[in-house]
């Protein structure tokens, strides 16, 4: 594909929402208020696992100031089957139970009732007056313990999918999934060197700064307005309609600005409860989670326990790869075990692959998506094992990856054959980076790892409204998390040939634009970008038609260039170019407003590959790891707005460093979560981080008008393994359980010293 030059795409413009955000004017979820609004609060189970024998709300209802109390009895039960809600296939039986417990509380923090009252103090008092009769049951937190025989069973109705003869067996294993390629026996027989090891990760929270917040207002004729912080207002609408037995057209959802989501705001928690409470009270109800509620009640990402086995020839050709991974879904099935299995070996061209995954429930909050869901968990095991293989082969860690990199024509173990992909280009860029070329300082270790994400397309709608002065309103339905308003406006400016500042991109509510699938999967700049380009092109066609009318020529005789209608050739006639503003001001005379619309199911998302390099120092006495240097390399297709591409790369790395070094849920022996705040749930702070150097590789996606692939998911895939590999380089110790926190690493260093002393 020839290098294209653009006027706006690829430039670093101020973001349209920037001024509002830096001045504090932007309205996030908790910033919406309605006259007469009530405070909604949720009562949560203090037990990790308990039957709910009864709930008595009468005392709470009698408390002056309490306007509504609800339990699961106020919502219809749902059938145990997969159904679409906002285009996501979900088991609504599980969703309604996660939003509010029915027969059982399945984790500490599980919602069991909710109240709406005139003040927060009264609402809290009312919660204390609700009497729940629990029968506490044995609980299970750890994924491998949940699989073990005799483990407490969460769901009597659960049977393992895809396993013959499982019909009669009570289990916590919701599904088994397998992908294979080639012939494993033949693969192992070719191997000169074999590595086999077990690895585990911990669930980690997405850690968005803004807690979930929703305000619902209902009217007597059944109409609902909902303002909330979400990655997908249409998905919220879909969920709420199903859970409350309403029609989607009755619910209008307006997304607020969003203070981070990372996948965690793709589902509903307080939203349907706010609607139900509002319906019962006849007043608007606002539910804002506290940080503690976010940790206890909202989804982290899944953790995994896995066994990885790799075989290679002496010269470093990987000939066989096996992964068995058990993923923890939380209280209801739905761990991202499919993507974990598919991503696991996607970076490599290996002839013989066997991957088996299990979706396992345990007494923890139901997991939600988190950047590249599943992929980082598998990469922790696979990319650590790749380095162990390199050590055994005596090969450079990057050379081994280059030698086995997936390329055009590589058939994946999950089916498709790759076309033009950027894995090799990414690895080359990593190898040639200033970082990789710089020798380590004494005591440092260097680690490399790679990562993969599919990127997705899905449904988007967009509209382009040309104002009477020639400025443009660009309307999409994709909440802007990572700077997508800026990137969409850049593509529109490029198409229209007008100044970026003339374009005002907005994020519309569910009643003001057609359906948009949620912001996630690295889809918005790709898919909504495609819709925007199509909508703008439709507006341009209309602009040409209007110029043709003014000039009294055929529309084919008018071209659009540099923001103006121009005659296609000298034979058309002698016309001065007509600017967007000149055409717009005459729109009424030539046929009315000038708009463009587009709706599509964007197909052909281009897979994303990344490689990361870390240098670390380890305090040998305390086990404290300092990340001294980090370079993140990724093929993003085209970087529409390089600042926000770099921001996505750096942000993913930051979250990955936290995942690698400190983040974990700490449960007591009753299964209650103990670290429910950012003080003890240790995400990195700025001083924990080096400058993270981004290297953007651009192998354009041929299926997108500007070559976009997607950027947000891949950067969180490699960090954990890359840091583990760097620690191994610095200490000689291979860590296999996340997080690699100071106490754990210190204990491992001491154990190694003891065994070394014994060897001497």
Partner 1 sequence: MAKVILTRWLARQFTAGQIEHQVPGLTIRALARELEYRYPGIIKHLEDGVAVAIDGEIYQNAFLEKVEPNSEVAFMPPIEGG
Partner 2 sequence: MRYVAPSTLEEASAFLVDANGNGRVLAGGTDLLVQLRAGMANPDTIVDVKHIDELMTIKEEADGIRIGAAVCGQAMGEHAGLNNTWPGLVEATELIGSTQVQGRASAGGNLCNASPAADSVPAMIAAGAMISVYGPDGHRELAVENFATAPGKTNLKEGELITSIKLPKPAEHSGDAYLRMTPRTEMDIAIVGLGVALTLDSEGTVTAARVGLGAVAPTAMLVKEAGDALVGSKLDDEALERAAEACRKACNPINDKRGTIEYRTKIAGVLLKRVAKIAAERAGS
Nearer to partner 2, 455 or 662 (CB): 662
Does 179 help bind partner 1 (rule: CB under 8 A)?
Answer: yes
| Consecutive H or E run containing 89 | strand 88-91
Is the distance from CB of 130 to CB of 57 less than 8 angstroms? yes
601 near partner 1 (CB under 8 A): yes
> Pick from partner 2, partner 1, none: which does 124 bind, CB < 5 to 8 A by kind?
partner 2
- For residues 660 to 689, the per-residue mask of contacts with partner 2, x marking binding by CB under 8 A and - elsewhere, is -xx---x-------xx--xxx-x-xx-xx-
Q: Which two tokens stand for residue 297?
A: 């009640």
Q: Tell me whether residue 72 or residue 354 sits nearer to partner 1 (CB atom).
A: 354
Q: Which of 29, 86, 238, 263 binds partner 1 (CB under 8 A)?
A: 263
> In whole angstroms, how far apart are CA 659 and each of 380, 639, 662?
11, 27, 6
Nearest approach, Cβ of residue 594 and partner 2 (Å):
50
**Neighbouring C-alpha atoms within 13 Å toward the C-beta of 747:** 6
Cα(760)–Cα(758) distance, integer angstroms:
6
What's the longest Cα–Cα distance across the chain? Answer: 96
Cβ at position 227, least distance to partner 1 in Å: 23
Helix ranges restricted to H, 168-212: 184-190
Interface with partner 1 includes 159 (CB under 8 A)?
A: no
Partner whose footprint covers residue 454, from partner 1, partner 2, none (CB < 5 to 8 Å by kind): partner 1
Cβ within 8 Å of residue 606, ≥6 positions away: 421, 455, 526, 637, 701, 702, 703, 704, 708, 709, 710
Q: Which of residues 66-125 bind partner 2 (CB under 8 A)?
A: 124
Q: Does 731 contact partner 2 by CB under 8 A? A: no
Catalytic residue among 292, 468, 713, 756: 713
Contacts 24+ apart (CB under 8 A), 148-156: 152/49, 152/363, 154/49, 154/104, 154/106, 154/331, 154/361, 154/362, 154/363, 155/332, 155/361
Q: In the range 121-140, which residues lie near partner 2 by CB under 8 A?
A: 124
1 forms part of the interface with partner 1 (CB under 8 A): no
CB of 292 to partner 2, least distance (A): 8
| Residues 380-439 interacting with partner 1 (rule: CB under 8 A) | 414-419
Which one-letter DSSP state was computed for residue 37? P
Looking only at residues 511 through 530 of this chain, which bind partner 1 when binding is defined by CB under 8 A?
Answer: 520-523
By CB under 8 A, the residues from 32 to 71 that bind partner 1 are none
759 CB-near residues (< 8 Å, 6+ apart): none
When asked if residue 746 is in the footprint of partner 2 (CB under 8 A), the reply is yes
Nearest Cα residue to 292 out of 183, 227, 365: 365
28 binds partner 1 (CB under 8 A): no
The interface partner of residue 162, options being partner 2, partner 1, none and the CB cut-off 5 to 8 Å by kind, is partner 1
Take residue 49 and report the two structure tokens written for it: 């696992």
Query: 164, 165, 167: which is closest to 178 by C-alpha?
Result: 164
Give min distance, CB of 717 to partner 1, in A: 11
Q: Is 713 tagged catalytic?
A: yes
Residues 372/648, Cβ–Cβ less than 8 Å:
no
Cβ proximity to partner 1: between 286 and 709 the closer is 709
By annotation, the residues acting in catalysis are 713
Give contact residues for partner 2 (rule: CB under 8 A): 124, 621-622, 624, 661-662, 666, 674-675, 678-680, 682, 684-685, 687-688, 741-743, 746-747, 750
Give contact residues for partner 1 (rule: CB under 8 A): 82, 87-89, 162, 177-180, 206, 261-264, 266, 338-339, 342, 369-373, 414-419, 453-459, 520-523, 601, 603-606, 703, 712-713
């Amino acid at each position: 594909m020839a290098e294209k030059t653009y006027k706006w795409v690829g430039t670093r413009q101020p973001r349209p929402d920037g001024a509002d955000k830096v001045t504090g004017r932007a309205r996030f979820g908790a910033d919406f208020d309605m006259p007469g609004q009530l405070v909604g609060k949720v009562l949560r189970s203090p037990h990790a696992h308990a039957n709910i024998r009864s709930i008595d709300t009468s005392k709470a209802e009698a408390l002056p100031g309490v306007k509504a109390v609800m339990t699961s009895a106020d919502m219809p039960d749902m059938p145990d089957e997969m159904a679409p809600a906002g285009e996501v296939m979900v088991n609504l039986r599980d969703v309604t139970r996660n939003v509010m417990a029915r027969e059982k509380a399945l984790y500490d923090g599980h919602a069991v009732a909710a109240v709406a009252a005139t003040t927060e103090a009264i609402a809290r008092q009312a919660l204390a007056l609700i009497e729940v009769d629990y029968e506490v049951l044995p609980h299970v937190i750890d994924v491998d313990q949940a699989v073990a025989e005799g483990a407490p069973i969460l769901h009597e109705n659960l049977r393992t999918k895809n396993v013959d003869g499982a019909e009669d067996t009570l289990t916590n294993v919701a599904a088994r999934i397998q992908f294979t390629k080639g012939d494993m026996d033949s693969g192992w027989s070719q191997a000169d060197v074999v590595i086999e090891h077990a690895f585990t990760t911990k669930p980690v929270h997405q850690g968005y700064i803004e807690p979930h917040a929703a305000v619902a207002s209902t009217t007597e004729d059944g109409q609902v307005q909902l303002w909330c912080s979400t990655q997908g207002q249409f998905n919220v609408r879909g969920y709420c309609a199903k859970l409350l037995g309403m029609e989607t057209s009755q619910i209008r959802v307006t997304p607020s600005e969003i203070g981070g989501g990372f996948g965690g705001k793709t589902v509903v928690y307080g939203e349907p409860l706010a609607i139900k409470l509002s319906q019962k009270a006849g007043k608007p109800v606002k539910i804002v989670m506290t940080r503690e509620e976010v940790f206890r009640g909202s989804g982290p990402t899944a953790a995994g326990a896995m066994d990885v086995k790799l075989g290679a020839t002496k010269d470093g050709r990987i000939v066989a790869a096996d992964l068995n991974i058990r993923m923890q879904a939380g209280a209801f099935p739905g761990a991202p075990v499919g993507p974990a299995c598919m991503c696991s070996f996607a970076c490599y061209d290996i002839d013989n692959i066997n991957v088996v995954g299990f979706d396992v429930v345990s007494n923890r909050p139901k997991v939600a998506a988190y950047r590249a869901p599943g992929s980082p968990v598998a990469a922790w095991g696979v990319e650590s094992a790749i380095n162990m293989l390199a050590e055994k082969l005596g090969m450079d860690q990057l050379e081994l990856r280059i030698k086995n990199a997936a390329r055009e024509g590589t058939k994946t173990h999950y089916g498709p054959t790759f076309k033009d992909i950027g894995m090799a280009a990414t690895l080359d860029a990593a190898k040639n980076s200033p970082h990789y070329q710089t020798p380590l300082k004494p005591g440092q270790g260097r680690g490399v790892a790679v990562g993969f994400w599919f990127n997705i397309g899905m449904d988007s709608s967009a509209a382009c409204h040309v104002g009477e002065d020639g400025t443009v309103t660009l309307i999409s339905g994709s909440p802007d998390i990572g700077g997508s308003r800026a990137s969409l406006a850049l593509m529109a400016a490029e198409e229209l040939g007008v100044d970026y500042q003339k374009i005002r991109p907005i994020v519309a509510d569910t009643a003001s634009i057609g359906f948009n699938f949620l912001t996630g999967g690295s889809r918005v700049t790709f898919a909504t970008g495609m819709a925007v380009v199509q909508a703008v092109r439709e507006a341009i066609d209309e602009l040409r038609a209007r110029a043709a009318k003014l000039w009294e020529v055929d529309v084919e005789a008018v071209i659009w260039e540099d923001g103006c209608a121009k005659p296609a050739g000298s034979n058309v006639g002698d016309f001065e170019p007509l600017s967007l503003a000149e055409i717009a001001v005459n729109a009424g005379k030539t046929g009315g407003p000038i708009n463009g619309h587009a709706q599509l199911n964007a197909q052909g998302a281009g897979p994303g590959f990344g490689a990361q390099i870390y240098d670390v120092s380890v305090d040998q006495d305390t086990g404290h790891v300092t990340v001294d240097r980090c370079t993140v390399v990724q093929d993003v297709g085209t970087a529409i707005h390089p600042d926000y591409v770099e921001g996505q790369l750096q942000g993913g790395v930051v979250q990955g460093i936290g995942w690698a070094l400190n983040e974990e849920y700490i449960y007591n022996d009753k299964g209650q979560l103990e670290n429910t705040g950012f003080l003890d749930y240790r995400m990195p702070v700025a001083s924990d981080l080096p400058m993270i150097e981004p290297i953007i590789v651009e192998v354009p996606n041929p299926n997108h008008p500007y070559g976009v692939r997607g950027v947000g998911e891949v950067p969180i895939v490699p960090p954990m393994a890359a840091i583990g590999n760097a620690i191994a380089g610095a200490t000689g110790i291979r860590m296999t359980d996340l997080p690699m926190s100071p106490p754990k690493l210190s204990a491992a260093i001491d154990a190694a010293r003891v065994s070394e002393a014994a060897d001497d």
